[in-house]
Amino acid sequence: LRHHVRVSHETDGAALPDPLLAALRAAVGPSHVLTDADLRATYETDWSRRFHGVAAAVVRPGTMDEVAAVVRACGQGGAAVVPQGGNTGLVGGSVPRAAAPRDGRGAPRPQVILSMLRLRELGAVDQVAGEVTVGAGVTLGALQAHLAGSGWEVGIDMGSRDSATLGGMVATNAGGIHVLRNGVMRQQLVGIEAVLASGEIVRRLPGAVKDNTGYALPALFAGSEGTLAVVTRLRLRLVPPLPRRAVALLAVDDAGQAATFAAELRRRLACLTAAELFDDDGMRLVLVHAGGEAPFRERHPRYLLVECGAPDDPTDQLVEAISAVAARDAVVAGDEGGRRRLWALREGHTESVNAAGIPHKLDVSVPIGRIGAFDVAVREAIRAAHPLPRIFIYGHVGDGNLHVNVLGPDPDDEAVDDAVLGLVIELGGAVSAEHGIGVAKTAWLVRDRGEADIAAMRAIKRGLDPGDVLNPGVLFSDPA
Amino acid sequence: LRHHVRVSHETDGAALPDPLLAALRAAVGPSHVLTDADLRATYETDWSRRFHGVAAAVVRPGTMDEVAAVVRACGQGGAAVVPQGGNTGLVGGSVPRAAAPRDGRGAPRPQVILSMLRLRELGAVDQVAGEVTVGAGVTLGALQAHLAGSGWEVGIDMGSRDSATLGGMVATNAGGIHVLRNGVMRQQLVGIEAVLASGEIVRRLPGAVKDNTGYALPALFAGSEGTLAVVTRLRLRLVPPLPRRAVALLAVDDAGQAATFAAELRRRLACLTAAELFDDDGMRLVLVHAGGEAPFRERHPRYLLVECGAPDDPTDQLVEAISAVAARDAVVAGDEGGRRRLWALREGHTESVNAAGIPHKLDVSVPIGRIGAFDVAVREAIRAAHPLPRIFIYGHVGDGNLHVNVLGPDPDDEAVDDAVLGLVIELGGAVSAEHGIGVAKTAWLVRDRGEADIAAMRAIKRGLDPGDVLNPGVLFSDPA
């Protein structure tokens, strides 16, 4: 949401009071409290490059106790804590606010970035449970490397794997490309250890798959964007690898048909692991940008890419199932190269769109049964709001998560947001599917959720963080 | 936990003030406010027959608006609301407290049972999404009948299906026999509509699989045992049926080996849908009680029952996988009759144990990697606490949920609880796997969770229900 960009000036940042600086240095050691502007710089801007704020300090604890000491010191010293993992967020939730939060007298509060990157514990794989306990600062890629050869995989995968940390993935309830099979990050969590705003510790480790012993704090903390607790350690259930793959591309009439076919295939194929949608304009852009041959002689309105994964080759099953749906055309990859070429048509979208201009991007969830209606209506709505849009809609048709990208001259981003997100709300979807609210979508949170829903969220925030210590300004633009 | 039983006397029940009675009658119609003791009786005792309390009235709303009006009236009138679905709970959470909760001046508050059974809406199956929206009072069995022939199934199944309501299954985060494949109730929830303690409505329908638009209230309300909100309507994701089944019984050395083999089979078999454990004493009891032939000529210490489900016959896959683990012996069912006979050995446990005496039963979660250690240590601990115990341990080895049953003369239930639940906590499990805390385990909630964890839960309860309107006395024995 580019119209939210504010480039802050150094003067927006309140300095740390001396006692707080001393307390932070005592907590983590002086070398892990970065106050120099050059050292802070990479921590102060997120991956979107649109969100930036000045930190009074970047603090790098190495243990759970150090995290607790930092949070406690900040709470006592009136500072805001901005938890940060790999800083791959796109909604400004992991960097300081451009306009610092204010204290009760209206004075700016210092913002302290709590970098979790030193919590890199990689526990031994529990072969009997199929679970592993890791530090919050471990990247997804590091865990994947750790698991290599263990016979188990993480249930989540995504492009930012070498930067995104598992703690950040809990905080934002990451989704990625395997949600159809394994669910979102919340569903991988067996146990957590987390520091509350008070500096106290919630510890549910190793945890249990079936646990009805009080409120589901791990499920609540997942997706809370660092506003309720700082996760320091987590235990993940793992999934067995599915070494044999089969991939098919189906040409379809429209997005609604893609969703209908995906459902039909889901019913027929226990092995279905992905169902992805893209349009012809998007595919042409990818082919021009990345090269490659069109999969079909003719052009078709929309494409549905499906993948099966299984212990044994699922190609025959996939062929049988797709022959039961009346696609305009279909192609099944016969080998690894073919599978890669088909996936490249979908996965090349982000890069190709970015190379063609500066896209206005929206990441939304639409009720799966309304994807067809959304795809038609959203194009009309964007055209009404934008002079000459080039529209690319692609995403995970199997779970309703669509990426709407708009390129074109002189875009009125706010009008496009209104058009797209307004429609999402009207259809009963969610204005943030994967990236969260951060500071970018706080106004939309209020529009998407009802008054009672917002009141309940604020009551939870007030109850767990009465001093507004953890990530103030994220989710709610004013103190809850 | 039998030692918590209190049989209340009618004098414990505070009468409804006239204005509140009038408000309830206006809200739902006079015929749906039951105050006569005979009409109230079946609502006042739960399935365990151990928990009972006197209701000032049973109120039967027919719509979400009526539920909201009832909750609002009770909040204004100082009454406690006890939400109730099929009343199949076993921990006293769905019936009035034996000792009525007190108001600020120490006077007993009237308790109003909010029966949800009239919210029986059965929405059309959304074939594209594979989802359905239903009223909270629909039983699992009614939904299963509704789905027959639709090509979809509910992801959860359990023995109480014809009484348990879906709203109650959300409130207690039901598990059942398909958790290994589909997860618990929380993971089936796509959207909810719920009434807060204030009488206001949270509405996230139809909802989205990927939704990072604020806190995960549906996930929090799942398992909150009616203390945070009353779910009035819910949307469930559905799963494709797996029509072809294969079942095997493996004889193993001990419970730890059963867990190890289950993990190995989970890695090898994408089709694995169940992994169940029982011991030889339990199997003998079932064979004596229900008849039937022993599956093996010899007796073995423990048995592991595994099931595969798939679109095509998975017998060959199952046979190949079990031949790769070094079981003492194994038998694979060749037909439907054989599958039923093997399952009966596991499913007959509850009835057979109940027929042999009055068992002391505990339902706990143990970290899967510690099941072996637990099975050894818990038997020793029970023997130390009980004169002549007959111990039967069975359950879902694939998710760590074990049922510990103790029969024998003159049991000291409290000592057995201390032995079993103390060990569960020591090993990092959960003292309630499936049934929740209710009023039965409030003391154990405090022992299982840390202080900060309890403080966080209480803060959430206070934030969402400052007047302690919803199910006071459940989870926390005193106002949060």
| End-to-end Cα separation, chain B, in angstroms | 23
CA distance B195 to chain A (A): 9
Q: Which residues of A167-203 are buried (b: 16+ CB within 10 A; e: fewer)?
A: bbbbbbbbbbbbbbbbbbbbbbbbbbbbbbbbbbbbb
pLDDT band, very low/low/confident/very high, at B316 (cuts 50, 70, 90): very high
Angle at B156 between CA B150 and CA B160, to 5 degrees: 105
Q: Do B201 and A127 touch (CB under 8 A)?
A: no
Task: Scan residues 37-96 of A and list those with Cβ closer than 8 Å to B.
Answer: none
Interatomic CA distance for residues B77 and B72, integer angstroms? 8
Nearest Cα to A388, choosing from A411, A362, A419? A411
Task: Please list, in sequence order, all residues whose beta carbon lies within 8 angstroms of the beta carbon of residue B196, skipping any fewer than 6 positions away.
Answer: A452, A456, B71, B202, B228, B229, B464, B465
CA distance A289 to chain B (A): 30
pLDDT band, very low/low/confident/very high, at A476 (cuts 50, 70, 90): very high
Q: Which residues of B391-414 are buried (b: 16+ CB within 10 A; e: fewer)?
A: bbbbbbbbbbbbbbbbbbeebebe
Give Dmax over CA atoms of chain B in angstroms. 71
pLDDT of residue A49: 86
pLDDT of residue B10: 46
Tokens of B304: 């592991």
Contacts of A441 in chain B (CB under 8 A): 213
Alpha carbon B336 to its chain centroid, in Å, reads: 29
Q: Do B208 and A454 touch (CB under 8 A)?
A: no
How large is the ipTM?
0.95
**Per-residue pLDDT for A313 more than 90?**
yes
Q: What is the arithmetic mean of pLDDT over A405-434? A: 91
Nearest Cα to A468, choosing from A57, A20, A64, A103? A103
Tokens of B19: 């204005």
**Per-residue pLDDT for A8 more than 50?**
no
Return phi, psi of residue A239, to 5°: -125, 155
Nearest CB to B369: which of A128, A428, A455? A128
pLDDT tens profile A372-387: 999 999 999 999 998 8
Report yes or no: A90 and A46 within 8 Å, Cβ to Cβ: yes
Report yes or no: B99 and B9 within 8 Å, Cβ to Cβ: no
Residue A235: closest C-alpha in chain B:
B367
Characterise A253 by phi-psi region: left (phi > 0), alpha (psi -120 to 50), beta (else): alpha
Interatomic CA distance for residues B1 and B173, integer angstroms? 20
Q: What is the arithmetic mean of pLDDT over B311-340? A: 95
Report yes or no: A109 and A14 within 8 Å, Cβ to Cβ: yes
pLDDT tens profile B5-55: 444 344 456 789 999 999 999 999 999 999 999 999 999 999 888 899 999
**Per-residue pLDDT for A136 more than 80?**
yes
Q: Which residues of B266-279 are buried (b: 16+ CB within 10 A; e: fewer)?
A: bbbbbbbbbbbbbb
Query: What is the 8-class DSSP label of residue B359?
Result: -
pLDDT of residue B110: 97
Q: Do A198 and B452 touch (CB under 8 A)?
A: yes
- Residue of A170, A185, A186, A209 to mutate for B, most B C-beta atoms under 10 A: A209
Q: Higher confidence at residue B423 or residue A4?
A: B423
Q: What is the arithmetic mean of pLDDT over B259-272? A: 95
Tokens of B148: 């027959």
Mean predicted lDDT score pLDDT of chain B: 94
Render B38-68 in DSSP notation, one character per residue. HHHHHHHB-TTSS-B---SEEE---SHHHHH
Nearest CB to B311: which of A270, A311, A457? A270
**Per-residue pLDDT for A229 more than 60?**
yes
Q: What is the arithmetic mean of pLDDT over B203-231? A: 97
Beta strand B80-84 with B111-115 is parallel
Nearest Cα to A157, choosing from A236, A234, A263, A50? A236
Render B9-46 in DSSP notation, one character per residue. -GGGSPPPPHHHHHHHHHHH-GGGEE-SHHHHHHHHB-
Strands (DSSP E) contained in A424-466 are none
Please tell me if residue B289 touches chain A, with a CB cutoff of 8 Å.
no
| Number of alpha carbons in the 13 Å side-chain half-sphere of residue A300 | 22
Render B278-339 in DSSP notation, one character per residue. EEHHHHHHHHHHH----SSSS--SEEEEEEEEESS--HHHHHHHHHTS--SEEEE--SHHHH
Report yes or no: A258 and A252 within 8 Å, Cβ to Cβ: yes
Residue A153: closest C-alpha in chain B:
B267
- Residue of A172, A187, A209, A212 to mutate for B, most B C-beta atoms under 10 A: A212
Nearest CB to A219: which of B129, B207, B220? B220
CB A149: neighbour CB atoms within 10 A?
8
Can you list the alpha helix ranges (DSSP code H) found in A364-412?
A: 371-385
Query: What is the 8-class DSSP label of residue A173?
Result: T
Nearest CB to B217: which of A183, A311, A456? A456
pLDDT exceeding 70 applies to what percent of chain B? 97
| End-to-end Cα separation, chain A, in angstroms | 23
Q: Do B212 and A434 touch (CB under 8 A)?
A: yes
Task: Scan residues 375-414 of A and list those with Cβ closer than 8 Å to B.
Answer: 396, 399-401
Which strand (E) or helix (H) includes residue B455?
A: helix B451-464
Interatomic CA distance for residues A37 and A257, integer angstroms? 53
pLDDT band, very low/low/confident/very high, at A413 (cuts 50, 70, 90): confident
Return phi, psi of residue B477, to 5°: -75, -20
pLDDT of residue B12: 53
**Per-residue pLDDT for B113 more than 60?**
yes
What is the sign of the dihedral through the CA atoms of B324, B329, B335 and B337? negative
pLDDT of residue B16: 93
Please tell me if residue A243 touches chain B, with a CB cutoff of 8 Å.
no
pLDDT band, very low/low/confident/very high, at A411 (cuts 50, 70, 90): low
Q: Do A401 and B209 touch (CB under 8 A)?
A: yes
pLDDT of residue A12: 52
Residue B180: closest C-alpha in chain A:
A209
Tokens of B374: 């637990």
pLDDT of residue A7: 41
pLDDT of residue B411: 66
Nearest CB to A212: which of B223, B396, B460? B223
**Per-residue pLDDT for A347 more than 90?**
yes
Give Dmax over CA atoms of chain A in angstroms. 71
Alpha carbon A97 to its chain centroid, in Å, reads: 19
> What pTM does this model have?
0.96
Q: What is the arithmetic mean of pLDDT over A11-26? A: 87
Task: Scan residues 157-196 of B and list those with Cβ closer than 8 Å to A.
Answer: 172-173, 175, 179, 183-184, 186-187, 196
Find residue A153's DSSP bridge partners. Answer: A239
Q: What is the arithmetic mean of pLDDT over A311-321? A: 94
- CA distances to A150, A152, B346, B379 from A145, rounded to whole Å, are 10, 11, 40, 40
Contacts of A128 in chain B (CB under 8 A): 256, 259-260, 263, 368-369, 371
Please tell me if residue B231 touches chain A, with a CB cutoff of 8 Å.
no
Locus of tokens 């767990």: A464
Nearest CB to B401: which of A210, A312, A456? A210
Report yes or no: B362 and B420 within 8 Å, Cβ to Cβ: yes
Report yes or no: B340 and B272 within 8 Å, Cβ to Cβ: no
pLDDT tens profile A22-64: 999 999 999 999 999 999 999 999 988 889 999 999 999 999 9
pLDDT band, very low/low/confident/very high, at A2 (cuts 50, 70, 90): very low
Mean predicted lDDT score pLDDT of chain A: 94
Q: What is the arithmetic mean of pLDDT over A294-300? A: 97
What is the sign of the dihedral through the CA atoms of B348, B354, B359 and B363? positive
Interatomic CA distance for residues A361 and A403, integer angstroms? 7
pLDDT of residue B4: 42
- CA distances to A3, A83, A94, A475, B358 from A53, rounded to whole Å, are 16, 13, 10, 17, 65
Q: Do A210 and B436 touch (CB under 8 A)?
A: no
Q: Helix (H, G, I), strand (E, B), or coil: what is residue B261?
A: helix
Interatomic CA distance for residues B228 and A453, integer angstroms? 13
Nearest CB to A184: which of B210, B365, B366? B210
pLDDT of residue A15: 87
pLDDT exceeding 70 applies to what percent of chain A? 97
Can you list the alpha helix ranges (DSSP code H) found in A185-226?
A: 217-221
**Per-residue pLDDT for B1 more than 80?**
no
Interatomic CA distance for residues B358 and B355, integer angstroms? 8
Task: Please list, in sequence order, all residues whose beta carbon lies within 8 angstroms of the beta carbon of residue A254, skipping any fewer than 6 positions away.
Answer: A301, A302, A372, A375, A376
Alpha carbon B325 to its chain centroid, in Å, reads: 32
**Per-residue pLDDT for B390 more than 80?**
yes
Q: What is the arithmetic mean of pLDDT over B465-479? A: 97
